Amino acid sequence: MLSLRNNGYRTFLDNFDFTQNPKTDILSGFTVALALVPEAIAFAFVAHVEPLVGLYAAFFVGLITSIFGGRSGMISGATGATAVAMVGLVVIHGPEYLFATMILTGLIQVSAGLLKFGKFIKLVPYPVMLGFVNGLAIVIFLAQLGQFKIPKTSSLSGSVDPESSHSALSVVFNGGWMDGLELTTMIGLTILTMAIIWVLPKIPVIKKVAPAPLISIILISAVAILLNLDTRNVGDMASVSGGMPLFHIPSIPWNLETLLIILPFSLTIAGIGLIESLLTLTLVDEITETEGRPNLECVGQGLANFVCGFFKAMGGCAMIGQTMINIDSGGRGRLSGITAALSLLLFIVFLSDLIEMIPLAALTGIMMMVVIGTFAWPSLKLLFRIPKEDAIVIIIVTGVTVIQDLAVAVVIGVIVSCLVYAWKSSQQIQITESESINDETHSYALHGTLFFGSIWKFKELIHPSNYSKKNIVLDLSDAKIADHSALEVLDTQTAKYHENGKRLELTNLSEDSLRILRKAEKVTSINVV
């Protein structure tokens, strides 16, 4: 145990962080649970499965990640990003194959954590993070607009058409908007909810009683019931009622053919889930000024999805919207996530009738406040003050998140950032004249990193035709050989010098550069002095 700690590892129990404020964690968790209900139902429709499949997923993923995940205060459940990746599988093969897919997804994610792949989230550039935050804020906002529209019906319990649910922008273009009194009531209750959440924290006495979002839900529900307002409730989406989740082995052929069917979906869902979870973890780290454990989060997400596969649940990942509700309500400990999951199960089994009475406008108002609090407003000013390349990355990631999905946006953002960095680094390489050693030998100094991006400029700078002396000594004390491309260009240029009756020599190499050269000395003819 001591050796592990001395090597920088932290034990799970040492950093469990169950709760520092039980009352706040319990109340914030209960608030999150109320907001989870319509989200879980909506994402179940997106994936073409029954509402309970989404609700059970929210319970299992939320509970298990809260206990075993790498970040206290973070909320996980069924998400739109993973639901979209499930659609094709469910439509073609059915939900039983989805459950098997989640088992394999869980194993992949656990493996990623054990192999410590979570640490690579630290390589995501800050502009990508800003784009991620802004993009998700816009996605959450667009999703709430769906509550102001007349839903299409589908075969799934006569509820929201899944085809209009899995694209953020589709909310704007699909279906018709409410009108008349119905629209007025919805807008009015939403604005009233937002006003309550904005005002209550400014009243110290009330602030200590309960989180503002929870109070707003109670007040708006009371107003709607007492005034008998004609407005959509949670029950209008689908029934929340159900029994305890039961153990179930997916009814599929357990053979190689099945594995080949589910493996591509498992890899996709695992990747999307981990990217969204780890980026959410990083965001919460920044907000709370604490440090989560990415590798442990991978394991927690994997365990959750693995269990989901055996209980007819669709799986999921971290949810930035619900996480922000929890953080804004004061939830910091693992107790908040545990409370949210257990409360959700309580709703399903015992309190479905009450939960179904909650106006959707109240939950919409809460999410709208999440949007306002999540969007990085200062980034709008930064766009004109930071390097244009970083500004472009922010815009690209934001746009792709809205148009496509988070995983694609992050991958594109990282690739663009890497290409920008590579291009800038490639332009920094240069050669300066040092001294003339004798009539036939002249020394030059190379500055910068020699890698795949800079070899083309290096070729131009070091070409034999550029130098009249027979022997050229290249001082690498202020340079570095980085990769195989660098070795190849040095070997090629050495051969060209030889063909022209000249000699190219390298001197003052760093230990890292020498190490690379020694490994390749049998396949290169580079002259080192």
Dump pLDDT digits (tens) for 242-275: 899 999 999 999 999 999 999 999 998 999 899 8
Note the pLDDT of residue 349. 93
Contact yes or no for 42/81 (Cβ under 8 A): no
Predicted local distance difference test score (pLDDT) of residue 345: 95
Q: Does the domain made of 430-528 have the CATH classification 3.30.750.24?
A: yes
Angle between helical axes of 320-328 and 126-145 (0-180°, round to 10): 90
Q: Which of 28, 70, 19 is nearest to 343 (CA)?
A: 28
> Alpha-carbon Rg of the chain, whole angstroms?
29
- The reported pLDDT for the residue numbered 172 is 65
- Nearest CA to 160 out of 175, 181, 172, 173 is that of 175
Residue 94 sits at the vertex; the CA angle it makes with 93 and 99, to the nearest 5 degrees, is 105
The least confident of 177-191, 199-213, 451-465 is 199-213
CA distances from 451 to 185, 474, 526 (A): 62, 16, 16
| pLDDT, position 384 | 86
The per-residue pLDDT for 15 is 62
Above 70 in pLDDT, residue 211?
Answer: yes
- Asked if residue 336 lies in contact with residue 26, where contact means CB atoms within 8 angstroms, the answer is yes
Give the model confidence (pLDDT) of 419-459 as tens digits. Answer: 888 888 888 889 888 777 787 888 999 999 998 889 989 98
DSSP letter (8 states) at residue 14: G
Does residue 48 surpass a pLDDT of 90? Answer: no
Which of 268, 367, 277, 365 lies closest to 319, judged by CA? Answer: 277
Report whether 495 contacts 458 (CB < 8 A).
no
Residues 88 and 331 sit within 8 Å (Cβ to Cβ):
no
Q: Mean pLDDT in the chain?
A: 86
Take residue 287 and report the two structure tokens written for it. Answer: 């907000």
- Residue 57's pLDDT is 96
Average pLDDT, stretch 213-224?
93
pLDDT of 170 above 70: no
Residue ranges of the chain that CATH labels 3.30.750.24: 430-528
pTM of the shown model: 0.78
- pLDDT for position 5: 41
Average pLDDT over every residue of 365-377:
87
If one counts every other C-beta atom within 10 angstroms of the C-beta of residue 188, the result is 14
CA distance 63 to 74: 11
Does 309 score more than 90 pLDDT? Answer: yes
Please say whether the beta carbons of 162 and 46 come within 8 A. Answer: yes
Q: Which of the four pLDDT bands, split at 50, 70 and 90, describes residue 159?
A: very low
